[in-house]
Structure 1
Amino acid sequence: MMRSFAAWLTIVILGASLLFAAVSLPFGSPAMSDMDDYFISHGQEQTGANNIVTSIVFDFRGFDTIGEACVLFTAVFGVSVLFRSRKKGEDYEYE
């Protein structure tokens, strides 16, 4: 009973925190439009790519893209470890 209450309390607090963070994000601020204009006007000369989306993803935000790929592969690996099948009667050995 107490575990269930603690789990629900944790979920509610986490959900409220995420909702507060999402509401307080500065979408549409003037700084965002300045960045867009900069990428559009300087993207091809700085990166050599004809596609502005490709130049942003692979050149301007390259490290972020690598980080996202690492997170994705880690999540897939974690799920595969959780759902791997064990042979019948096999148990984990703790040392």
Structure 2
Amino acid sequence: MNIKNPLIILITLLAIFSVLLAVSEFPPYGMADNPVHNQVSKRYINSTLEDTGVFNMVTGTVLDYRAYDTMFETIVLFTATLA
């Protein structure tokens, strides 16, 4: 028997256990006090029109707040398409 087989099984079981342990620590879905509901999302919702002048909140967020991130994502996708 190859020594790698038990090692691979042990590493796989450890990875599965780690993922299950991490998922068990997630906050319950749909609760109002989840960490995802913070001041950043409230600010985007309340001040997108004033900050960007755009009525569509998604367009204002993508083009004004996240323009550099979106530009680099587009470059990566374009480069991957060329390859």
TM-score range, shorter chain: 0.5 to 0.7
Stretches of structure 1 lacking an aligned partner (at least 5 in a row): 79-95
Partner of 1:39: 44
Letter in structure 1 aligned against 2:42:
D
1:56 maps to 2:55 = no
- Residue correspondences, number: 61
SS in 1 for 2:55: coil
Shift of 1:46: 0.6
Task: String of CA shifts for 1:8-37, please: whole Å, max 9, x gaps.
Answer: x7xx88xx5xx95xx58x88515x432111
Distance 2:79 2:71 in 1: 12
Q: Among the aligned pairs, what percent are the same residue? A: 31
SS in 2 for 1:49: coil
Segments of 4+ in structure 1 off by > 6 A? none
Report the RMSD for the aligned CA atoms in angstroms: 2.9
Partner of 1:77: 82
Partner of 1:29: 35
TM-score between both structures, scaled by the size of structure 1: 0.51
Higher-Rg structure is 1
Distance 2:75 2:45 in 1: 28
